[in-house]
Amino acid sequence: MTVNETVTIKLDQFLKLVGAVQTGGEAKLIIQTGEVRVNGEIETRRGRKLVTGDRILARGQAFFVDLSEAEL
């Protein structure tokens, strides 16, 4: 990875990773119905790329994105 590359993760993948949802279909549903906020704003794009520092609110749970030690 070069210096200019930023590590990202898609919103739907992140929701599965942290256990907010069990399946990709479930992630798609709650994202498309406006039940997920990214940095305080409703997000309806499941492919939204998240970076370290983003704050996610889903199903009454808050999550903080930290990809600083993510394995590629």
Whole-number pLDDT of residue 51:
97
pLDDT in tens, 1-51: 555 578 999 999 999 999 999 999 999 999 999 999 999 999 999 999 999
pLDDT of residue 70: 65
pLDDT the model gives residue 4: 58
Give whole-number Cα distances, 65 to 8, 16, 51, in Å: 10, 13, 7
Give DSSP secondary structure letters for 4-25.
T----EEHHHHHHHTTS-SSHH
Higher-confidence residue of 7 and 72: namely: 7
Grade residue 68 by pLDDT with cuts at 50, 70 and 90.
confident
d(CA 17, CA 40): 20
62/72 Cα distance (integer angstroms) = 25
Domains of the chain: 9-64 (3.10.290.10)
